Amino acid sequence: MEIEEGGVTVEVPEARHGASEGAGTGVFYNPVQELNRDITVAVLRTVADRCETYLDATTASGIRAVRAADAGYRVTGCDIDADAVALARENLERAGGGGDVVHRNANAYMHEHAHDVVDLDPFGTPIPFVDAAFNSANRYVCVTATDTAPLCGAHFESGVRSYAAVPRNTEFHAEVGLRVLLSALVRTAARYDLAARPVLSHVSSHYVRTYLELDAGARAADELIGELGYVDHCQKCLWRRHERGLIADPLERCPHCDQSTWTAGPIWLGRAHDPEFVRAVRTAIPDSFGTAERSRSLLETIAAELAEPTHYDQHKLYKRWGEPNIGMDEFLDALRSAGYDASRTHYGGTTFKTDADVAAIEAAVE
Ligand SMILES: C[S@@+](CC[C@H](N)C(=O)[O-])C[C@H]1O[C@@H](n2cnc3c(N)ncnc32)[C@H](O)[C@@H]1O
Ligand SMILES: [Zn+2]
């Protein structure tokens, strides 16, 4: 069937569940990822002054490549699947913006060809592709990971194997997932004396998406390694602390309630986004994009998010305290009046960040 997205028209297979005659090829297409693609194009518009070429390394129907070509990029699509390649070629040709689609294993192709922006959007974990992506990319690497259960510690062993980090299924699990992924990406880039600094990241529905800006040099890479570390977390009272460093020094017991604690890491403790970059991306979203309103609202929340590496869930705290919760604005105001920083987060309507610890939060809002 033909679909229109972000001003381009592409042929895609019928949605999987509604598949009927003509679905034929089995090439992947997910309408739910429109927000991911809209933000990708807004990022491409934002960096267009320094980037010209874009590799859609796992292109499927070619929809990202077509949209990037429409944004003025010289694009290459790549897929290992012959049906996907045929469909992506057809779509790029019809769009008339030029571009090639190669029928290759993306890893082999990326080791041979350089691009300003490399986009990884594979099935599940992106880890099998990231070494090659950092070798191919001149400026930016964009990564989608849909294996959220391993990333956030719900599938613990799988997370340990894929990411060489200890994930923990805390109440801020989406953020653990993002930061386990960022840790692995930063460490992979560092192996090539590259600093891969996240400039925008979001966790939406079933996936994690991040955009990394590359800077060459051992010293730059070392600086980012210095932003890795560990989080100790108490599941009972939700107290937590984070410490930078590659050698873990875990606490045995929670200093607040004496429960034994959990430790996750090494995770990325630095900023998951650059607020100025995020604001620029927000203004690069045209009204015509299908998810314009949702994307802008998401980016606005992200730009205002504090740099703290973990967030709290207000409802979970009140449940622990055995009291009814108050409104979020009132709650954040109370924290600020008590002298703390506080912000909402994009992880959910009841989530917030603050530099206050659990005891201070309770005292501030009571
Ligand atoms: C999730 S889909 C991509 C979706 C697409 N980016 C979009 O926005 O609709 C993943 C694609 O990766 C392709 N793929 C898997 N392994 C690959 C490999 N080693 N090299 C190139 N493509 C691969 C699959 O054939 C599939 O088409
Ligand atoms: Zn505790």
Phi, psi of 127 (to 5 degrees): -50, -40
- Top mutation candidate among 80, 136, 207 for ligand 1, by most atoms within 8 Å of CB: 80
d(CA 198, CA 189): 12
- To the question of domain 2-304 being in CATH 3.10.20.30, the answer is no
**Residue positions counted in the chain:** 366
143, β-bridge pairs:
120, 210
Say yes or no to pLDDT of 3 above 80: yes
Cβ distance 48 to 112 under 8 Å?
Answer: no
> Atom 27, ligand 1: which residue's CA is nearest?
60
Pairing type for strands 137-145 and 115-120 reads: parallel
- Top mutation candidate among 8, 28, 130 for ligand 1, by most atoms within 8 Å of CB: 28
Confidence (pLDDT) at 74: 98
The dihedral built from the CA positions of residue 53, 59, 62 and 63, taken in this order, carries a sign that is negative
The mean pLDDT value for 8-20 works out to 72
312-365 and 2-304 share a CATH fold: no
The mean pLDDT value for 21-41 works out to 84
Say yes or no to pLDDT of 266 above 70: yes
The mean pLDDT value for 20-39 works out to 80
Instruction: Tell me, using a 6 A CB cutoff, whether residue 146 lines ligand 1.
Output: no
d(CA 200, CA 43): 9
Phi, psi of 46 (to 5 degrees): -65, -35
What is 312-365's CATH topology?
A: Phenylalanyl-tRNA Synthetase; Chain B, domain 1 (3.30.56)
User: Structure tokens of 21?
Assistant: 């005659």
pLDDT digits (tens, 9 = 90+) for 163-220: 999 999 999 999 999 999 999 999 999 999 999 999 999 999 889 999 999 999 999 9
Q: Other C-beta atoms within 10 Å of 286: how many?
A: 13
pLDDT digits (tens, 9 = 90+) for 62-110: 999 999 999 999 999 999 999 999 999 999 999 998 999 999 999 999 9
d(CA 299, CA 279): 7
Cβ distance 332 to 302 under 8 Å?
Answer: no
Confidence (pLDDT) at 363: 96
Ligand 1 atom nearest to CA at 60: 27
Tell me which of 5-19, 58-72, 249-263, 340-354 is least confident.
5-19
Instruction: Tell me, using a 6 A CB cutoff, whether residue 80 lines ligand 1.
Output: yes
Cβ distance 320 to 312 under 8 Å?
Answer: no
Query: Measured in angstroms, how far is the CA atom of residue 320 from the centroid of ligand 2?
Result: 11
Confidence (pLDDT) at 16: 56
Ligand nearest to the CA of residue 119, numbered in listed order? 1
Please give the helix or strand (H or E) that residue 3 lies within, else none. Answer: strand 2-5
Q: Where are the domains of the chain?
A: 2-304, 312-365
% of the chain residues with pLDDT over 90: 95
User: Structure tokens of 94?
Assistant: 């019809």
Confidence (pLDDT) at 343: 98
pLDDT digits (tens, 9 = 90+) for 104-141: 999 999 999 999 999 999 999 999 999 999 999 999 99
Instruction: Tell me, using a 6 A CB cutoff, whether residue 62 lines ligand 1.
Output: no
**At 15, is the pLDDT very low, low, confident or very high (cuts 50, 70, 90)?**
low
Phi, psi of 194 (to 5 degrees): -120, 135
